[in-house]
Structure 1
Amino acid sequence: MEMKRISAGKLRAIGYDARQRVLRVELDDGSAIEYAAVGEEVWRRLSGSGSAWSYYRDNIEEEFAGKRVAAKASPKVNPLDDLFK
């Protein structure tokens, strides 16, 4: 699933698998939650919303049962590391 990086409230990335109808959200604390049986209209509204955090809280978090999943580890690279080795 391709993830779209965003910065909205606690959301840091969102992704959707249309074939399986699964929405995945990654939060700023590093956790990830997947929601099953999410329609494409919900995904379209979330990904196009100017207030994705509010839309998520009002229309996804409260309406769908989420399952915590392992977040993909993304290496945090500090550009100054090479200077101070």
Structure 2
Amino acid sequence: MSTAIRHLFYRPESAELSIWFAPEGRRYKYFDVPQSAYEALRDAPSRGQYFNRAIKGHYRCTKIEEESSRNRRRRRLGAASS
């Protein structure tokens, strides 16, 4: 278990890796990440060390603002209940 990384989510069809960082829960999305890099991060004894060595600075990324992700989730939920 990593103290730096709270949660990972990988979307293989688009090669996007989302990482939630502890303790604040900041979320970043990384693009064009090979599945092998995601699996290595997921299985690393220290996710924070692996992230700093092999992910950070190697892939284009963007910070996902909490409000925008909440709005998307609400729209999806609203569409599903209509």
TM-score over 0.5 for the pair:
yes
Q: Distance in 2 between matches of 1:41 and 1:20?
A: 14
Q: Sequence identity of aligned pairs in percent?
A: 15
- Aligned-residue Cα RMSD (Å) equals 1.5
Where structure 1 has 5 or more consecutive residues not aligned to the other structure, the ranges are 1-6, 74-85
Is residue 37 of structure 1 aligned with residue 22 of structure 2? no
Q: CA deviation at 1:10?
A: 1.6
Task: Give the equivalent residue in structure 2 for 1:61.
Answer: 56
Where structure 2 has 5 or more consecutive residues not aligned to the other structure, the ranges are 71-82
The structure with the largest alpha-carbon Rg is 1
Question: Aligned to 1:14, what secondary structure does the other structure show?
Answer: strand
TM-score by length of 1: 0.71
Alignment partner of 2:4 out of 6, 10, 20: 10
- Whichever structure has more helix as a proportion of its residues is 2
Is residue 24 of structure 1 aligned with residue 18 of structure 2? yes
TM-score by length of 2: 0.73
Which amino acid is 1:27 matched to? F
Q: Distance in 1 between matches of 2:25 and 2:47?
A: 18
Q: Distance in 1 between matches of 2:54 and 2:19?
A: 13
Q: Distance in 2 between matches of 1:9 and 1:37?
A: 25
- Whichever structure has more strand as a proportion of its residues is 1
Q: Taking CA–CA contacts closer than 8 Å with sequence separation of 6 or more, which of the two structures ends up with the larger relative contact order?
A: 2
